[in-house]
Structure 1
Amino acid sequence: MANTNRWSTRTLVTIALLCAISVLLSFVEFPLLPGVAWLSYDASIMPAAVCGFAFGPAAGVACGLISVVAHGILFADFTGAVMNALVVLGFVLPSALVYQKLHTFKGAIIGLLLGIVFGVIMAVLGNLVVTPAWLGVPLDAVVAMIIPILVPFNLLKGLLNAVLTLIVYKAISNLITPKKKQVSGR
């Protein structure tokens, strides 16, 4: 019996296009919090979340990780790549898993809210491990930044990613989803 779970050429091309958009968006960065210029926002997680909604959690995580690796290599930023990979896993995986099980607007909202929460948790945990280990920042200094800087920045980042994901996915879902799987009113 043939494997019916194979992705079509169109699906693979769409995923590759979302990966390319994610990489391009990773170059457009700006600070979200005044006085915290070393933490900048880019919308590169949004295409990965859209990919996760459209093609499942594995595709979304793969798209996000490809973007993270490409950006990390191009900028020789190992620590940033590790941190971004953790946030991609924290944001995209729960969002796509919930949306896969509850394929409605409510499911998207619940998934994205969980993605925000897990993205913030992964960012904080990553900062507690990666920043002292590779950047030499004392753990006490990182702990002191959690509430006033890290949590607000990552909440705002997650909220922006969630809103952008909803807007973009709604706008393009019927273009990237095969006709037989389209849902009206999405």
Structure 2
Amino acid sequence: MPACRTARRKGESDMTDYGKLLEAVKSNVTFILVSILIVVCVYFIAKGLEKLIEAKCGMHFNSEKTKVNRLVVIAMFSAISAILMFFEFPLWFAPAFYELDFSEVPALVGAFMFGPTAGVAIEGLKVLIKIALKGTTTMFVGDLANFIVGCAMVVPASAFYFTKKTRKSALIGLITGGLCMVIAGSLMNGFYLLPKFAELYGMPIEALVAMGTKVNASINSVFTLVALAVVPFNILKSIVVGAITLILYKYISNLIKGQHAVNK
């Protein structure tokens, strides 16, 4: 009888472990599918904006003349962006899992040269390169977040820039992109990324909130974590990245405009 009870308990334990394994697989598969869907949607949004710009301005983003240059620049800027992701800086008002980097700068420059889809490609490739070289410490949630908020700035900024292709339109585009970054980052963190991060790590979301409380006692919920950490984080990032891009624009504007002349 004791042997039977032991066997029964072992069987129940195995079933529990099997159930946990299935649940973990289900969660990861769902996350992967959602990530792929987000990437596809972002690409088609960027592609749609390019089509609108082509119809309005009479230019072509993917002409045969620029195909090789486009691929070279995307590859080069993706590598530079990936390297920049290794240099992350913690911020005093946000938990440790929010760190500032400048990897959006090459993506913005590339998007100003070749259009929104080039920016999306750079954003996606930089994340893949970074994962290949460094791996992930966030179960890929942070990597997806980086892609989303990066594209949220790069796509509208470059699309707006191409309507006039002047320093002023670049500035307005960067401001618009920064606002989109803040909105997208806030909504995605609050409703999907933070809950998914907690789920994949098997921890209560309150644990993430507690990490925010350590740096700011006013953070006591997901809402306040987003409002007092995510929002200012993305505002600061958009300002810094936008300022660097504008400074670089002064030196590379001739290169960008020369590329646009070839596109026509």
Q: 1:91, 1:112 within 8 Å by CA — same for their partners in 2?
A: yes
Contact 2:81 2:107 in 1 (8 A): yes
* 1:116 equivalent in structure 2: 178
CA shift for structure 1 position 152: 0.9
Hey, what does 2:26 align to over in structure 1? Answer: none
Measured at CA, do residues 60 and 97 of structure 1 come closer, stay the same or move farther in structure 2, by a change above 3 Å? same
Is 2:163 the counterpart of 1:101?
yes
Please report the RMSD computed on the Cα atoms of aligned residues, expressed in angstroms: 2.3
* 3-state SS of paired residue (2:95): coil
TM-superposed deviation, 1:135: 1.9
8 Å contact kept, 1:53–1:100: yes
Is the CA contact 2:145–2:185 (under 8 Å) kept in the aligned structure 1? yes
C-alpha change, 1:176 and 1:15, in structure 2 (3 Å) is farther
Q: Is 1:60 aligned with 2:122? A: no
Distance 1:69 1:179 in 2: 27
Query: Residues 24 and 89 of structure 1: is their aligned pair in 2 closer, same or farther, counting only changes over 3 Å?
Result: same
- How far apart are the structure 2 equivalents of 1:24 and 1:55? 21
CA offset at residue 176 of structure 1?
5.5
Partner-residue secondary structure (3-state), 1:154 = helix
Indicate the residue corresponding to 1:47 in structure 2. 106
Asked which structure has the greater CA Rg, the reply is: 2
Determine if contact 2:160/2:172 at 8 Å carries over to the other structure: yes
The answer on 1:20 being equivalent to 2:83 is no
Amino acid aligned to 2:231: V
Deviation at 1:125, TM superposition (A): 1.5
SS of the equivalent of 2:92 reads: coil
Structure 2: give runs of 5+ residues left out of the alignment: 1-59, 200-204, 210-219
TM-score w.r.t. the length of structure 1 is 0.86
Change (3 A) 1:153 1:35: closer
1:1-186 matches, cutoff 5 A: 5-6=63-64, 7-34=66-93, 36-73=95-132, 74-76=134-136, 77=138, 78-128=140-190, 129-136=192-199, 137-138=205-206, 141-175=221-255, 178=258, 181=261
Provide closer, same or farther for how the CA distance between residues 34 and 17 of structure 1 changes in structure 2, counting only shifts above 3 A: same
Paired with 1:110 and 1:48, the residues of 2 have a C-alpha distance of 17
For 2:93 and 2:164, locate their aligned partners in 1 and report how far apart those are by CA, in whole Å: 38
User: In 2, Cα distance between the equivalents of 1:8 and 1:162?
Assistant: 27
Fraction of identical pairs, as percent: 36
Q: Is the Cα–Cα contact under 8 Å of residues 61 and 92 in structure 1 kept in the other structure?
A: yes
Q: Does the 8 A contact of 1:52 with 1:59 survive in 2?
A: yes
Work out the number of aligned pairs and report it: 180
- Is the 2:174–2:242 Cα contact (8 Å) retained in structure 1? yes
Q: Which amino acid aligns with 1:118?
A: C
One-letter amino acid of the structure 1 residue matched with residue 63 of structure 2: N
The structural deviation recorded for 1:179 is: 6.6
Specify whether residues 180 and 44 from structure 1 end up closer, same or farther in structure 2 by C-alpha distance, changes over 3 A only. closer
Tell which deviates more after alignment, 121-130 or 3-12.
Answer: 3-12
- Provide closer, same or farther for how the CA distance between residues 180 and 63 of structure 1 changes in structure 2, counting only shifts above 3 A: closer
> Per residue, is there more helix in 1 or in 2?
2
TM-score, with length taken from structure 2: 0.62
Tell me, in whole angstroms, the C-alpha distance in 1 between the residues paired with 2:101 and 2:197. Answer: 22
Counterparts of 2:92 and 2:261 in 1: how far apart (Å)?
A: 41
